[in-house]
Structure 1
Amino acid sequence: MTRAEEQALLRQLKSDYRHILINYFTTTDQALKDCIDKFINSIFSANIPVPRIIEIHMEIIDEFSKQLKLEGRSDEALLDYRITLIDILAHLCELYRCSIYQ
């Protein structure tokens, strides 16, 4: 993968993850589950390391925090979004586990 392709992939993953974060606590439909599965499969296929996933999470949470502060609102609720990260990493671990035993 070229550097440009890698950057484009990371931008797309960040966009997908932002969508997941925004909808994680408000939507329980199959579309969100499919989005999470697609995100996990993309990360797995591209061999994205876990620290990079955490960086993406922190970058987006930081952006959300700045926006909330600009609006004069507390960013305390963003702590709950750690659950999303844990869920994503758990799905990724399961995918790794399944790939090892196939």
Structure 2
Amino acid sequence: MRTADRQALLQQLKLDYSHILINYFTPDAPSPEKIDKFINALFCANIPVPQIIEMHMELIDEFSVQLKLEGLSDDTLLDYRLTLIDILAHLCELYRRSVPK
């Protein structure tokens, strides 16, 4: 995959993940299908786990800055580690199922 294509894909994945993060603890929580679609995209693009964690941390940092600008505490962002754990658990399961028996 060309560098420009890979960068565009990473930007789209980051945008998709930000939507998942924003809505994860709301009544409009992302559907399992939306999370599965995101996981499949990560898997097919062969995105390494450290890069997924980096994407998560970048988004959390951006959210933290925004909350501080609004005069709000960023303590609740710690809860979003659960989102990362959920995503990584789904990805691990996908890898486990992809290994031939």
Bin for the TM-score computed over the shorter chain: over 0.9
Deviation by residue 1:12-65 (Cα, 9 ceiling, x = unmatched):
000000000011111466x52111101100000010000000000000000000
2:33 matches 1:10: no
Note the residue ranges of structure 1 that are not aligned, 5 or more in a row.
Answer: none
RMSD (Å) for aligned C-alpha atoms? 1.3
Counterpart in 2 of 1:25? 25
Counterpart-to-counterpart distance in 1, 2:34 and 2:100: 25
TM-score using structure 1 length: 0.94
Offset, 1:101: 3.3
Q: Is the alpha carbon distance of 1:97 and 1:28 closer, same or farther for their aligned partners in structure 2, counting shifts above 3 Å? A: farther
Give structure 1 regions of 4+ aligned residues with deviation exceeding 4 angstroms: none
Aligned length: 101
Aligned identity (percent) is 70
Residue aligned with 1:26, SS: coil
Counterpart in 1 of 2:74? 75
TM-score using structure 2 length: 0.95
Note the residue ranges of structure 2 that are not aligned, 5 or more in a row.
Answer: none
Counterpart in 2 of 1:53? 52
Query: If each structure's helix is expressed as a fraction of its own residues, which one has the higher value?
Result: 1
